[in-house]
Amino acid sequence: MALSPGDPSSYSRPDIVKTTHIHMDWDINFQEKVLSGTCTYHLTKVDPSATSVLMDVRDLDILSIKLENTGEELKHNIDRDTSFGSRLEIALPSDCSKDFRILIKYSTTAKCEALLWMEPNQTSGGVHPFVFSQCQSILARSMLPCQDTPSLKATYSASVTAPKDINVLMSAIRKEENQPVSDDKVKFSFEQKVPVMSYLIAIAAGDIKSKKIGPRSHIWSEEKYLEMAAFDFSETEKMLQTAEELCGPYVWGIYDILVLPPSFAFGGMENPCLTFVTPTLLSGDKSNSTTIAHEIVHSWTGNLVTNVNFEHFWLNEGFTKFTECKIMGRLHGEPYRHLLGIRDWPSLEECVNKNFGANHPLTRLVPDLKGVDPEDAFSVVPYQKGQAFLYFLETTVGGASEFEPFLKSYYDKFKYLSISTNDFKEYFLEYFASCEAVKTIDWDTWLYSPGMPPVKPNFNQSLAIPVYDLAGRWRKWSVDTSVACPFNEEDIASFNPIQTMEFLNSLFNGEPLTLLAIEKLTELYKFNESPNKEILYRWIRLGLKLQFEASAKSAVDLVTEVGRGKYVVPIYKDLYAWPEKRQLALDNFEATRFKLMSSARNDVAKALGIKE
- Active site amino acids: 295, 383
Q: Which residues pair with 43 in a beta bridge?
A: 19, 100
Instruction: Say which entry of Zn ion, ligand BES, none residue 570 contacts (CB below 5 to 8 A, set by partner kind).
Output: none
Segment 105-144, which members bind ligand BES (CB under 6 A)? 136-137
Exposed e or buried b per residue across 402-427, where buried means at least 16 C-beta atoms within 10 angstroms of its C-beta: ebbebbeebbeebbeebbbbebbeeb
CB 383, min distance to Zn ion, A: 7
For position 86 contacting ligand BES by CB under 6 A, the verdict is no
Q: What is the DSSP letter of 73?
A: B
236 with 250: CB under 8 angstroms?
no
Instruction: Say which entry of ligand BES, Zn ion, none residue 544 contacts (CB below 5 to 8 A, set by partner kind).
Output: none
Q: Which stretch binds ligand BES (CB under 6 A): 98-106, 124-132, 229-237, 266-274?
A: 266-274
Stretch 282-321: interaction string toward Zn ion, x if CB under 5 A:
-----------------------------------x--x-
Q: CA-CA distance, 457 to 434, in Å (whole number)?
A: 24
Neighbouring residues of 63: CB distance < 8 A, sequence distance ≥ 6: 105, 106, 107
Distances (CA, A) of 475 to 349, 472, 493, 506: 22, 5, 19, 10
For position 378 contacting ligand BES by CB under 6 A, the verdict is yes
For position 294 contacting ligand BES by CB under 6 A, the verdict is yes
Phi, psi of 159 (to 5 degrees): -135, 120
CB 318, min distance to Zn ion, A: 9
317 with 298: CB under 8 angstroms?
no
Stretch 52-91: interaction string toward Zn ion, x if CB under 5 A:
----------------------------------------
Distances (CA, A) of 27 to 39, 190, 311: 11, 14, 35
Q: CA-CA distance, 409 to 155, in Å (whole number)?
A: 24
Strand extents, DSSP E, 5-114:
17-29, 34-45, 52-57, 60-67, 76-82, 85-91, 99-108
At residue 110, what is the residue type? Answer: A
Q: CA-CA distance, 583 to 552, in Å (whole number)?
A: 12
Segment 511-550, which members bind Zn ion (CB under 5 A)? none
Per DSSP, helices labelled H in 436-548 are 443-448, 465-479, 497-509, 515-525, 533-545
Among 56, 235, 317, 394, binds ligand BES (CB under 6 A): 317
Cβ proximity to Zn ion, 190 vs 389, nearer residue: 389
Tell me which residue of 476, 500, 501, 502 sits closest to 487, measured CA to CA.
476
Instruction: Say which entry of Zn ion, ligand BES, none residue 378 contacts (CB below 5 to 8 A, set by partner kind).
Output: ligand BES
Q: CA angle, 170 as apex, 124 and 150 as ends, to 5°?
A: 120
Among 113, 270, 423, 574, binds ligand BES (CB under 6 A): 270
Cβ proximity to ligand BES, 133 vs 291, nearer residue: 291
540 with 578: CB under 8 angstroms?
no
Q: Which helix (H) or strand (E) holds 51?
A: none
Q: How many residues bind ligand BES (CB under 6 A)?
A: 15
Cβ proximity to ligand BES, 270 vs 311, nearer residue: 270
Neighbouring residues of 354: CB distance < 8 A, sequence distance ≥ 6: none
Exposed e or buried b per residue across 115-149, where buried means at least 16 C-beta atoms within 10 angstroms of its C-beta: bbbbeeebbeeeebbbbbbbbbbbbbbbbbbbbbb
Cβ proximity to ligand BES, 138 vs 555, nearer residue: 138
For position 233 contacting ligand BES by CB under 6 A, the verdict is no
Q: How distant is the alpha carbon of residue 192 from its chain centre?
A: 20
CB 384, min distance to Zn ion, A: 12
Q: What is the DSSP letter of 356?
A: I
For position 266 contacting ligand BES by CB under 6 A, the verdict is yes
CB 491, min distance to ligand BES, A: 28
Instruction: Say which entry of ligand BES, Zn ion, none residue 268 contacts (CB below 5 to 8 A, set by partner kind).
Output: ligand BES
Instruction: Say which entry of Zn ion, ligand BES, none residue 7 contacts (CB below 5 to 8 A, set by partner kind).
Output: none
Q: Which residues pair with 467 in a beta bridge?
A: none
CB 542, min distance to ligand BES, A: 20
Q: Which stretch binds ligand BES (CB under 6 A): 34-42, 63-71, 261-269, 353-361?
A: 261-269
Neighbouring residues of 361: CB distance < 8 A, sequence distance ≥ 6: 367, 368, 450
Cβ proximity to ligand BES, 582 vs 606, nearer residue: 606
Segment 132-161, which members bind Zn ion (CB under 5 A)? none
Cβ proximity to Zn ion, 317 vs 574, nearer residue: 317
Per DSSP, helices labelled H in 265-312 are 290-297
Among 45, 187, 218, 298, binds ligand BES (CB under 6 A): 298
CB 233, min distance to ligand BES, A: 13
For position 267 contacting ligand BES by CB under 6 A, the verdict is yes
Within 13 Å and on the Cβ side, how many CA atoms surround 372? 14
CB 301, min distance to Zn ion, A: 8
Q: How many C-beta atoms lie closer than 10 Å to residue 604's C-beta?
A: 24
Instruction: Say which entry of ligand BES, Zn ion, none residue 530 contacts (CB below 5 to 8 A, set by partner kind).
Output: none
CB 177, min distance to Zn ion, A: 32
CB 498, min distance to ligand BES, A: 13
Instruction: Say which entry of Zn ion, ligand BES, none residue 205 contacts (CB below 5 to 8 A, set by partner kind).
Output: none
Q: Which stretch binds ligand BES (CB under 6 A): 17-25, 265-273, 325-333, 500-508?
A: 265-273
For position 566 contacting ligand BES by CB under 6 A, the verdict is yes
Residue nearest to ligand BES (CB): 267
Cβ proximity to ligand BES, 256 vs 270, nearer residue: 270
Give the interface with Zn ion as residue ranges (CB under 5 A): 317, 320
Q: Name the residues that contact ligand BES, by CB under 6 A.
A: 136-137, 266-270, 291, 294-295, 298, 317, 378, 383, 566
